[in-house]
Amino acid sequence: EAGVAQSPRYKIIEKRQSVAFWCNPISGHATLYWYQQILGQGPKLLIQFQNNGVVDDSQLPKDRFSAERLKGVDSTLKIQPAKLEDSAVYLCASSRFSGQPQHFGDGTRLSIL
Amino acid sequence: GQQLNQSPQSMFIQEGEDVSMNCTSSSIFNTWLWYKQDPGEGPVLLIALYKAGELTSNGRLTAQFGITRKDSFLNISASIPSDVGIYFCAGPSPYFGNEKLTFGTGTRLTIIP
């Protein structure tokens, strides 16, 4: 089966600009996750969707980050405006159902100048 | 927030050696997952453990779910160059909600030529 697809692979922007990332999960996977992975650390969950509804966004900085999964399939994560500390890899993962092992995409590496 | 502590932080070994790493937590976990992350890629699930005391193998990899439910171990036998990467433990903790994955700090494995 095809894996989790993410784009772009790399993005370089200046602080205060906006950026958006896209994720297409594995077909049939109801649960989709966005993680932030800062260099040298493990991934940290930002938001979890079950179909098109948000299950957990407790660690999403809502003043600048937003995410949607309107049709319950692919998803976008947006940062507006970006700050220097947002430099990280943004990973998308999906699982068949919540609580099942998660499968990760290769991530988008974001650099803020 | 909750963090899983992995040790060692990094390992430098020669090809053919066996590797042992562990993951500990101050709170209990219901599931332990071990992921490997190569540079520029997302984490890939290696082994999933669902029961205290469980010992599971995947080729040259063996992982154990600690009896106390607060730790897990991963062993790699007869290491080869493609084992290089960062190994993360992860799990959902009932303390933080059964479905939210917490990731460890990672163990970086390097093979010395």
Report strand pairing: B61-65 vs B71-76: antiparallel
Chain A hits for B33, CB-CB cut-off 8 Å, are 101
Sign of CA dihedral B8, B10, B14, B19: positive
**Residue bearing the bigger pLDDT, A58 or A90:** A90
B41 CB near a chain A CB, below 8 Å? Answer: yes
Exposure on the CB side of residue B61, measured as CA atoms within 13 A: 18
Average per-residue pLDDT for chain A = 94
Q: How many CB pairs under 8 A join A and B?
A: 49
Query: 3-class DSSP state for residue B64?
Result: strand
Residue B1: is its pLDDT beyond 60?
no
Which residue, A12, A67, A42, A45, is CA-closest to B6?
A42
Phi, psi of B109 (to 5 degrees): -105, 125
| Tens-digit pLDDT profile for residues A27-67 | 999 999 999 999 989 999 999 999 989 988 999 999 999 99
Best to test chain B binding among A4, A23, A41 (most B CBs inside 10 Å): A41
Query: 3-class DSSP state for residue B63?
Result: strand
Mean pLDDT of B84-113: 84
Residues in contact with A2: Cβ distance below 8 Å, sequence separation at least 6, in sequence order? A26, A27
Confidence of residue B96 (pLDDT cuts 50, 70, 90): low
Q: Residue A13 forms beta bridges with which residues? A: A112
